[in-house]
Structure 1
Amino acid sequence: MKTFKTNLITTAFLASGITLGSLPVMAQQNDTSQTDAEEQTVEVIEVSGIRASLQKSQAIKMSESSIVEAITAEDIGKLPDSSIAESIARLPGLAAQRLNGRSSSISIRGLGEDFSTATFNGREQVTLGDNRGVEFDVYPSEIMNEVIVYKTPEATLMTQGIGGTIDMRTIKPLAHGEQTVAVTLRGEKNDIGALNPDGEDTGYRGSFSYIDQFADDTIGLAIAYSHMDSPNNEERFETWGWPDGTIGGMKPFVRSAELTRDTLMAVVEFNPTNDLRVNADALYIDFEDNQVLRGIEIPAAWGDAGIRVDETLNGQSLTGRIGGPGSPVGGVVRNDVTIREADLFALGVNVEYDLNADWVLEFDAAYSQVERKTWALETYAGSGRGFSDRQPEQINFSFAPNFQSVNLNPMLDYGDHSVIQLGNPQSWGWGNLTDLESDDDQDGFINTPTIDDELSTLRLAAQRVLSTDFISSVEFGAYFSQREKSKRDLGLFLTLPGALDSNGKVVPGYQLSVPEEYRLPNTSLGFIGIDDMISFDSFRFWQDGNYTEFDSRIADPARWENTWDVSEDISIAFIKANIDTELGNIPVRGNVGVQVVHTDQSSDGFTTRRRPNRSVEVSPTSGGDDYVEVLPSLNLIFEVADDQAVRFGISKTMSRSRMDRMNASTGDLSYNEQVNIWNGSVANPELKPVTANQVDLTYENYFHAEGYFAAALFYKDISDWQERLPSFVDTSDLTPPEGQPVAPLGVLSSWQNVGDGEVSGAEFTISLPGVMFADALEGFGGIFSATYLDSELSYELEVPTDLEGGTQVIEFTNNVPGLSDEVYNATVYYERHGFQTRVSVRKRTDFLGEVAGLSLNRVPVNVNGSTLVDAQISYDFSESGIESLDGLTVTLQAQNLTDEEFVTYHSVDGGTDVRDVQRFGRNYLFGINYTF
C-alpha cells in the first residue's frame, strides 16, 4: 500500500474541522524529523478570509478523486460573493448568463443549464423554472459553506449531466466544533436610480446563523435565517427585427424590480457512538420577484403607419421617420407588471452505520417541492382605438452607429393623460369571441402560469473495505427517485367594459382616461429622447375589476400546448471500486464504476382543433417511454511527483431532456396564408436524453498552500442531440380558409433526437501567492484562469423537392447553447493585518443564451460577449486590538463597475442586427459581519 503524501493528510484534517491556520505547521513538521521539530520554534502566520477560502478550496480539489472545482466560505455565512452564481462563475471552465441584471444561469465547459445538474447537500432539487435548470439566485450565499463543481462523474454521483454537477453544501456543526453566532447586515444601492415612480434603488440583506454542539459533542445544530430585499433597475432598448435592414418595430422601456427572499435552513447531526452518524437538513425559501416595466411599443416597417428611411449604414436604417400625415403611428404605451412568487421546501436525512471495521451501511432519503405562481400583466394605451381613430403622429428616429440605442422625436405628448388613454391602438384581438367581426377587442392581457414540482429520492448503499494492493474499498447500492412536474399555462384577454356594448360588440373608438386614483408621476424615457410617459398603478387597476376578462384557453390553442404533466420514475444500480495502488514507483488512486439507469417517463397533455368560430376544441392525450442507459466511469490520479498529479478520466454521461420538450400536448394545425401551407407542432413524450462519451486529462502542480497550476484538456463526443425539426405530411384533403388555395404539403415540427456533435476544450489555471516572489508581498495574490472551447453539432434532414414525392437530404449545423469560445477569469487580492481588498474580472465571448419570450416561454437568443468587473474591500476588527470590536468585519462591494450592458442579436453572426440592449448600472453594497 502506498504512503499518503502531505496533501492528503492536510485534506483529512480539513474534513475533521482542523483550522487552516495550523496547516503550515503540519507541513513544516512533516518535512523534518521529529527530533528537529521539537527543537524548532516555528512562526505561524494564520490566514483567514479569501486566503483561507483558497487554501480550503485547493485542499478539496487535491483530495477529490474526480476532477472538481471548489468555492468555500471565508467565514460563517460569507461566500466570496453576494451571489452563489457570481462565486462559481469565477471558477475555471464556468460562465454565467445574466438574467434581469443578476447572474443566474451557469454553463460548465460550454454547456448551458440544460446539460448540467445542481444538488443541495448531494441531492437533486426541484426547480422554479419550466425545466430542470436551477436559478442560482434563488439560493442565498449566506447559508452555504461550500460549492463543489464536478467536471467528471463517478458511479456514486447520482445526478449527472454532460456538462457537470454543481453541489451546494451547508455546514456540518460537529465538524465546525465550537459554538458560533454570526450576524450579517448589508445595504444595497443601484447607481442607475429608481427608473419608475414606484420603483426602488435601495435595499438590504441580513442573515443570522447559530452553530452549537451538545451532549458531549454527540449532537450538532446549525440554524440560519436570511432575508433579502434587492433592487434592480434597467434601461432597455428592444427591437422586433430588421426586415431588409429596416427597423421592423421597437419596444424601449424602463424596468424596476425588487427581489424579496426569506430563507430558513437547519442542520442537525447526531453521532451517539463512533459507529452511527445521522444527519438531517431542512430548507425553506420564500421567493418573490416584483417587476414594473413601462415603455412605448412602436411599430415601424412591420406596422400600418409606414416608414421612411433617410440614411442607412451598412445596409440598415440609420435615420428616418415612422408615420406621417394620413398614417398616424400606433404607438402602444405599456404599463406592465410581472410578479413571480415561489415557495421551495427541501428535507433530507442521511444515516451511516459502521457494521464493523470493514462494512459501512448508508441510508439517504429526501423530499423537495416547489410551487410557483406568476402574474404578468400587460396594459395598452395610445392616441386612439385602431387605425381610423388615432391622432396625427410621426416619430423621427436616429440610431447610434452600433444600432444599440436610438433617439426618438415624436409629435405627440406621451405624458399627457388627455392624449394617451387606455384602449387598443394596434387592433390586437381575437380574445373576445362575442364579436367575430372586430379585432379591436384586446385592451390588455395577463399571463398567469403556474408550476408545481415534486421530487422524492431514496438511496441505499454499502461500502466494503478491502485489504488488497489495488482496490481499497468497494461501494455499491441502489437509488430511486420519483418526480412529477406540471405546468398550467393560463392567461386572460382583458377588455375595458365600456369598449363593449350590451351585445358584446366592440364600440368603435372607445378609450378611457386613466382614473385619477390610479395615476402616478410620469415615467422618463430620456435614454431614447422621450422625457415623459403616463404611468399608473396598472396591477391595482386590474385587481379592482376594471377589465372584462376572457379565458385565453377558449381561443388560443398555444395555452393547451404549454399545459402539461410530466412524470419520471428512475431506478439506478451502481457499483464503484476505489483504487489505491502503485504503478512502479508512482502512487495511483481513483475509482472505476458503472451505473445502470432505468427511466420510466410519461406525460399527460392536450390536443386541440380550432373551430370556425375561433374557439378551440380540446381533447386529452398522453404518451411516454422507458429506457435503460449504462454509464461507466473511470477516474485515475497519478502522483508523478511531490504535490504534482496527472488526472485521467473517461466516462459516459447523459443529460435528461428538458421537461417542456417531453410534453405530450400538441399544437394547433393552422393555415399560413403567407406561404399557403398548413403548419403546426407535434409533441414527443418519448424524447431520449442527450448522451456523451468524454475523456479528460489534467495536470496539477500544488507548489504552495495557496498556489497551484492546472492545465486540462477534455473532449465530449455527443449523441442524440435534440433539435426541433419539421416533418412533411400530405394535407391536400384539408379545406383551406376561404379564398386560399389547397395546400398539398403541411409542416409539423417536433423535438427529435437527431444530432451528433462534439465539444472540446482546454483550461488553464494558476493561483499565485505574492510571498513566493518576495516577503514584502505577503498577503498579495491572484488567481487566473482561461478556457478555450470548440464545438460542432450537425444533423441531417430529408426535405421534399417537389410535389411528386422527390426528396433530398440537407445537413445542418448548430451552436451549443451556453458555449462561449473563450472565457477568462481573474482575481487579484490583498489580505493582511485585517484588511482585505480584491478586484475580479469575468470575460466571455458571444454565446447562445435564453431569455423570456412571448407568454413567458423561454426562447434562444444570441448574446454578445461581455466583461464584468467587481471589487471589494473589507476590514476585520479582530486584528485591530480593540477587544470590544473583536469579530466585527465591515465590507464595501461594487458590482458591474464598468456598467457593462447585456446585448443580444436576432442573427447568429451578431453584427448590427440588434435584438435587445439592457443597461443595469452599478450595484453597491455596504455591510457588517459580526461573529462571536
Structure 2
Amino acid sequence: MKTFKPNMITSALVASGIAFAALPAMAQDNQEQTAEDAVEVIKVSGIRASLQKSQAIKMSETSIVEAITAEDIGKLPDSSIAESIARLPGLAAQRLNGRSSSIAIRGLGPDFSTATFNGREQVTLGDNRGVEFDVYPSEIMSEVIVYKTPEATLMTQGIGGTIDMRTVKPLAHGEKTMAVTLRGEQNDIGALNPDGEDTGWRGSFSYIDQFKDDTLGVAFAYTHMDSPNNEERFETWGWPDGVIGGMKPFVRSAELTRDTLMGVIEYSPRDDLRINVDALYIDFEDNQTLRGIEIPAAWGDAGITVDETQNGYSHTGTIGGPGSPVGGVVRNDRTIREAELNAFGLNIEHDLSPNWVLEFDAAYSQVDRRTWALEAYAGSGRGFDDRLPEQIGFEFADDNQSVDLDPQLDYGSHDVIQLGNPQSWGWGNLTDLESSDDQDGFINTPEIDDELTTIKLAAERIFDYGMVSSVEFGAYFSDRTKSKIDNGLFLTLPGALDENNNVIPGYQMPVPEQYRVPNTSLGFIGIDDMIAFDSFRFWQDGNYVEFDSRLSDPARWQNTWSVSEEVTIGFVKANIDTMIGDIPVRGNAGVQVVHTDQSSDGFASRRIEGRRLDVQETSGGDSYTEVLPSLNLIAEIADEQSVRFGISKTMTRSRMDRMNASSGELSFNEQVGIWSGSTANPSLKPIQANQLDLTYENYFHSEGYFAAALFYKDIKDWQLQVPEIVDTSELETPEGFDPSPVGVLSSWKNVGDGKVNGLELTLSLPGVMLSDALEGFGGIFSATFLDSELDFQLEVPTDTQGGTELQEFNVTVPGLSEEVYNATVYYERAGFEVRASWRSRSDFLGEVAGLSLNRVPVNVFGSDLLDAQISYDFSESGIEELEGLTVTLQGQNLTDEEFVTAHSIDGDGLDVRDAQRFGRNFLFGVNYKF
C-alpha cells in the first residue's frame, strides 16, 4: 500500500519495538530487518515511549496532526482525556465545574470541531454537537489523534479540526495482557456540604488476548469512577452603573459516577480479510448539592446604600435597612444529571487483489440524558410585607472576585429561616392568578435524546508505479436526530394554599426534622451558618404542589425541539508519493461532495389570556450541497526535516439550538416601550472556512523535534442573531403604554465574514542531547499565538416607526485565547517517573449554564494550571514478586487556580460574573500489569 521511507529516527522507533497501524509500511519485513540490523536497541517505557509513538504518528500522517498515546495499557498521561488533549500544541480546555471538559482547537471552541470514536462521529450529551470529553474515560483509550487539516477520507470535519479517540487493536497489540488499576482520590478543599464527599476512587480492568493462531483478537475494559468535587462560588447578578445588582454565593458538593464497558473483537481468518467489531457503553451520573443565599441588591426591592466606591464599583455599604428588609433567599438546591451512551461499530476490509481493497463500515450511537435541577427556597418571610428586619453589610475584595458579608439575621436558625418564598417570585405560576407569592421552589427537568446511524462504502486502488501511490473513493451516509424536551415545574407548599388554591399571606413552615442535615458554612463570604436540608427527598416525598411551567412560560416551548439531518458524502482521495528533483514529496489530494437534508419540528407560543399560552406546532428545514476540496503535501527538504503545506475548504454545521423550528413569544419591553422576541432558523447553513497551513518540522531525536506552524482561516457565513422589524399593531400593550406599531424579532442568520490566523511553536527536547548526565530528563513546550477579526455591517432597527441604520459589528470568536502555553518537564529512569505540567491561556469567550440550564456565553478570565505526578515501576526493582506493579501519586490544580468569568466581554475585569474555587485534587493509585 502506501510507501513510507523510514529515516534514522523512525528506524530507531522500530528497533525499540514500537509498531502500530499508523505506520503501515514500517511493518514491511525488509525495512524492519534493515532497521534492526543498523540501530542499537534502547528500551524505553512510560512517558518517553509515549512521546516516541506520538512523534512517529505525527511524522507518518500526511495531514497535519497532533497525537497522544497511552504509556501502557489503560494509562494515558492524565486522568482525563480532556486534560491530555489540552496539552497538545494549539489546543486549550475550558473547565466546567472544576473539570476540563470542552476543547478549543486553534482558537475555535467545541462548536467548531468534531469528535470521533474509532473514526466515527458520536452523539453528544449536551444540547448541541460539542463533546464533553470528561464523559470518556482515559483508561480505555490507546491514542488520540487531532486532525488540524482535513483530508477527503475524514468524514466528520470542522473548521477547527477533528479529534479522534481510538481504542486498542488486539491483533496489533500482539500479546496477552491484563491490567488492573486502582486509585483513591481526595479533594483538599474538603466536603463543603454536610452530606457531601471529598474522597472517591477509580478502578479499571483491561484484558487483551489473541486466539486461533493470532487470527482472532479480543480486548475488553471496564472502568468505574466515583469522583468528588467541591466548590466555593461567588456569583453576581450584575453591576448596574457599577453598583452590585445582587449576588448568589454558595458552596457546591458534587460526585461524578461513571461506569464504562468497552469491547473489541478483531478477526482476520486470512491475510486478505480483516473484521473489527467494537462496542462502548457509558453510564454517567453527576450529582450536585448547592447551598447558599441569593441576595438582591440594586435590582431588589430592599435597596442598597454604598459607603465607598473603588474603581467605579461599589466597595463597601449596606443592603436593606429599617422598613426595607433584604429578603435573602436561602437556597438548598440539587442537580442530578444522568445519561447512558451506547455505541457500536462494524468494520470489514477485504483485499480483492494486491491492488484493490474494499471497506464497509457501519456504526450506531445513541444517548439519553435526563436532568433534575431542583431549587428550594426559604427565608425570613413570604413576600415583602412579612419578612423579618434584615440588612447585610458588605465589603468587596479589590478585584470584586469575593465579598465579606455582615448579616443581621441568623441564617443558621430553623426558627428564623423557614420554607417559603421571600422574594415574590412566581408570576408564571397559575395556582393563584392574583398573587405572585406562590412559588416556593422550581425544578427543571429537561431531556435530551440523540441518535446517529452511519454507513460507509469505500475502495482503494493501489498503484505500483507513478506519483500517485493509491486512490481511495467511496460514499458515506449518516442519519441523525436530536431532540430536546424542556420541562419545568413550579413548586408551592401545600399549606400555603387555602381551599380555593389562593395563597395564604405570610405562610411559612419550618423544615421538618426528618429532612434536616447539619448546617452548611458559607465562611468564605463571612456567613458561618446556614440551614441545610435534603430538598430532593423533600420534593420526592410529595411535599410540594406542582404546576407545569409549559402552561405559562413560552421559553419552555422555544427550547423544545427536534432536529434531523441526513448527510450523503461522495469522496475521492489520491495518495501522493513521488520525487520533485531530489526532494521526496508525499501527501494527499481529494474532494468531498456533501449533500445535507436538514429539518426540524418545534413549537410557537403566544399569550392569549392572563398568563396562559396558545401553542402551535411548527416545522421547517432546507437542503444544500457543498464541495470541500483538500490538499496536503509534505516535502522532505533535508534528513529528518520537512515542510508541510495544506490548503482546504472546511465547514462546521450549525449548533442545533440555532437551527430548530421553535420560536418564542414577543414580549413587551417596558424600558424601551417596544415588543421584542427571538427565534431560531431551521434553514441555517454551516459556517465555512478556506484555510491555509504551512509547517516546518525538524525531528532531531527519537524523542525530540521542533515545529513551527502558520495557519490562516478565511471564514464565511458566520452566524449572528439579526434583528428585524415586525408588525405588532394588533398586539395590546400593557396599561399606561402607547401602542407599539412595530417590534423587533431577532433570528439566527448566516451573515458576515472574518478570519482566524495564528502561529504555533513546539519543542520536544530530551535532556541527553544537552548532556549525558541528563539522560532520562526532558521536556515538551508549546506556545500558540492567535488573532481573529470578525467585523461586518448590518442594517438594524432604530425606532418603533421602522427607522434603521447601518451599524458596525465586531464579534468575538468563541473559545479563542490570544495566547496559549503548555509545558511539561519529566524525568524517567530506573523505574522512577516524575513530571510536572503547566498550561496557561489568556481570556476567552466561553460558555456556561444559565437560567433554566440553557447555555450562555461569558467572558472567561485567563488561568494557569499546574499538575504533577510521580510514579515508580517495580519492574525495574529486581523484585520478581512485584514485577508489573506501578505506584503513582498525582496532584491536580496544585496552585488552586480559580475559574473566573465576567458579565461583559470587553469590560475592565471588575464586572465579575462569578469566581469559582475548587481546591486541589490528589490521587494515589496502583497499576498491576500481568
> Would you call these one fold, judging by a TM-score over 0.5?
yes
CA distance in structure 1 between the partners assigned to 2:802 and 2:363 by the alignment: 55
Letter in 1 for 2:840: K
1:613-692 equivalence runs, <5 A: 613-692=610-689
Match of 2:714 in 1: 717
Could you tell me which residue of structure 2 aligns to residue 401 of structure 1? Answer: 398
Does structure 2 retain, via aligned residues, the 8 Å contact 1:11–1:60? no
Tell me, yes or no, if the aligned pair for 1:474 and 1:577 is still in contact at 8 Å: yes
Question: SS of 2:171's equivalent?
Answer: helix
Counterpart in the other structure of 1:142: 139
Letter in 2 for 1:189: Q
Is 1:121 matched with 2:115? no
Q: Percent identity?
A: 78
Distance 2:802 2:547 in 1: 44
Q: 1:30 to 1:703 in 2, by over 3 A?
A: farther
In the alignment, structure 1 residue 232 sits paired with structure 2 residue 229: yes
CA distance in 1, matches of 2:236, 2:869: 36
Query: Does 2:858 correspond to 1:858?
Result: no
Q: C-alpha offsets along residues 204-230 of structure 1, whole Å, 9 cap, x if unaligned?
A: 000000000000000000000000000
3-state SS in 1 of match to 2:717: strand
Partners of 2:899 and 2:917 within 8 A in 1: yes
Residues 184 and 927 in structure 1, CA contact (< 8 A), matched pair in contact too: yes
8 Å CA contact 2:12–2:35 kept in 1: the answer is no
> In 2, distance between residues paired with 1:862 and 1:330?
30
Query: Where does residue 918 of structure 1 map in the other structure?
Result: 916
Correspondence 1:380-779 to 2 at 5 A: 380-779=377-776
Does structure 2 conserve the Cα–Cα contact (< 8 Å) formed by 1:433 and 1:613? no
Indicate how the Cα distance of structure 1 residues 459 and 721 shifts in structure 2: closer, same or farther if over 3 A, else same: same
Separation in structure 2 between the aligned mates of residue 497 and residue 382 of structure 1, nearest angstrom: 17
> Is 2:324 the partner of 1:327?
yes
Quote the offset at 1:739 in angstroms: 2.3
CA distance in 2, matches of 1:823, 1:407: 34
Match of residue 901 from structure 1: 898
Partner of 1:289: 286
1:4 maps to 2:5: yes
**Partner secondary structure for residue 611 of structure 1:** strand
Letter in 2 for 1:931: K
Partners of 1:117 and 1:804 lie apart in 2 by 45
Within-5 A mapping of 1:101-120: 101-120=98-117
Instruction: Give the Cα separation in 1 of the matches to 2:852 and 2:174.
Output: 51
1:268–1:279 Cα contact (<8 Å) kept: yes
- Quote the Cα distance in structure 2 between the aligned partners of 1:682 and 1:231: 39
2:293 and 2:20 map into 1 onto residues whose CA distance is 60
- Can you list the C-alpha shifts for 1:529-569, whole angstroms capped at 9, x where unaligned? 00000000000000000000000000101000000010000
Other structure's SS at 1:517 match: helix
Alpha-carbon deviations, 1:686-725, whole Å to 9, x = none?
0000000000000000000000000000000000111112
Alignment partners' CA distance in 2, 1:473 and 1:292: 57
Q: Is the 8 A contact 2:742 2:802 kept in 1?
A: no
How far has the Cα of 1:288 moved from its partner? 0.3
Q: Let me know the Cα RMSD of the aligned residues.
A: 1.9
TM-aligned CA distance change 1:28 to 1:573, over 3 Å: closer
Provide the rounded CA distance (Å) in 1 between the counterparts of 2:777 and 2:803: 70
* SS, match of residue 87 in structure 1: helix
With over 3 angstroms needed to count, the CA separation of the structure-2 counterparts of 1:408 and 1:657, relative to structure 1, is same
Q: Secondary structure at the match of 2:790?
A: strand
SS at match of 1:86: helix
* Contact in 2 for aligned 1:2/1:581 (Cα 8 Å): no
Q: 2:70 matched to 1:73?
A: yes
Deviation at 1:27, TM superposition (A): 11
Output the amino acid matched with 1:538: S
Q: Residue 82 of structure 1 is aligned with which of 79, 82, 86?
A: 79
Q: What is the letter of the counterpart of residue 728 of structure 2?
A: T
Is the Cα contact below 8 Å between 2:428 and 2:611 reproduced in 1? no
CA contact (8 A) 2:604 2:664 kept: yes
One-letter amino acid of the structure 2 residue matched with residue 219 of structure 1: L
Aligned counterparts of 1:187 and 1:839: Cα–Cα separation in 2: 20
Asked if 2 retains the 8 angstrom alpha-carbon contact of 1:17 and 1:177, the reply is no
Q: Distance in 1 between matches of 2:4 and 2:812?
A: 47
> CA-to-partner distance for each residue in 1:60-111, whole Å, 9 max, x for gaps?
0000000000000000000000000000100000000000000000000000
- Whether the 8 Å CA contact 2:902–2:911 is kept in 1: the answer is yes
| Distance in 1 of aligned mates of 2:741 and 2:194 | 56
Deviation, structure 1 residue 14: 4.3
What TM-score, normalized to structure 1?
A: 0.97
- Secondary structure, in 3 states, of the residue corresponding to 1:503? coil
Q: Which residue of 2 aligns with 1:377?
A: 374
Q: What is the one-letter code of the residue matched to 2:552?
A: A
Decide whether the 8 Å contact of 1:90 with 1:825 is kept in 2. yes
1:115-154 per-position Cα deviation (integer Å, ceiling 9, x unaligned): 0000000000000000000000000000000000000000
Shift of 1:846: 0.1
Shift, 1:30, TM fit:
5.7
- 8 A Cα contact 1:230 1:258, kept in partner: yes
Deviation at 1:732, TM superposition (A): 2.9
1:16 shift after superposition = 4.5
- Say yes or no: does 1:883 pair with 2:880: yes
Equivalent-residue separation in structure 1 for 2:551 and 2:596 (angstroms):
35
The AA in structure 1 aligned to 2:564 is: S
CA distance in 1, matches of 2:3, 2:878: 47
When normalised by structure 2's length, the TM-score is 0.97
The 10-residue stretch of structure 1 (466-475 or 897-906) with the greater mean CA deviation from structure 2 = 466-475
Shift of 1:291: 0.2
Per the alignment, do residues 16 and 840 of structure 1 end up closer, same or farther by CA in structure 2, a change over 3 Å counting?
closer
SS of 2:753's partner is strand
C-alpha separation in 1, matches of 2:796 and 2:279: 54
The answer (yes or no) to whether the contact 2:743–2:800 under 8 Å persists in 1 is: no
CA distance in 2 between partners of 1:681 and 1:44 (Å): 66
Alignment CA distance shift 1:781-1:414 (3 Å)? same
1:680, CA displacement in angstroms?
1.1
> For the Cα contact (< 8 Å) 2:10–2:702, is it kept in 1?
no
Instruction: Name the CA distance, whole Å, in 1 between partners of 2:889 and 2:313.
Output: 44
Specify the code of the residue in structure 2 equivalent to 1:646: V
Map of 2:50 onto structure 1 = 53
Could you say what secondary structure the match of 1:755 adopts? coil
Provide the residue aligned with 1:796 in structure 2. 793
- Paired residues of 1:754 and 1:796 also in contact (CA < 8 A): no
1:671: how far off?
Answer: 1.3
In the TM superposition, residue 802 of structure 1 has moved relative to its aligned partner by: 5.2
Once the two structures are TM-superposed, the CA of residue 811 in structure 1 deviates from its matched residue by 1.4
Deviation of 1:513 (Å): 0.3
Task: Tell whether the 8 Å contact from 1:209 to 1:224 is kept in structure 2 after alignment.
Answer: yes
Secondary structure at 2:536 match in 1? helix
- Residue 202 (structure 1) aligns with: 199
Q: Does 1:315 align with 2:312?
A: yes
Aligned equivalents of 2:897, 2:785: Cα separation in 1: 22
Alpha carbons 1:825, 1:843 under 8 Å: kept = yes
1:178 matched to which residue of 2? 175
For 2:421 and 2:531, the matched residues in 1 are separated by 16
Distance in 1 between residues matched to 2:862 and 2:131, nearest whole Å: 22
* CA apart distance, 1:804: 5.4
CA distance in 1: counterparts of 2:789 and 2:181, whole angstroms: 47
Distance 1:802 1:556, change over 3 A: closer
Question: Is 1:91–2:88 an aligned residue pair?
Answer: yes
Question: Alpha-carbon deviation of 1:734?
Answer: 2.4
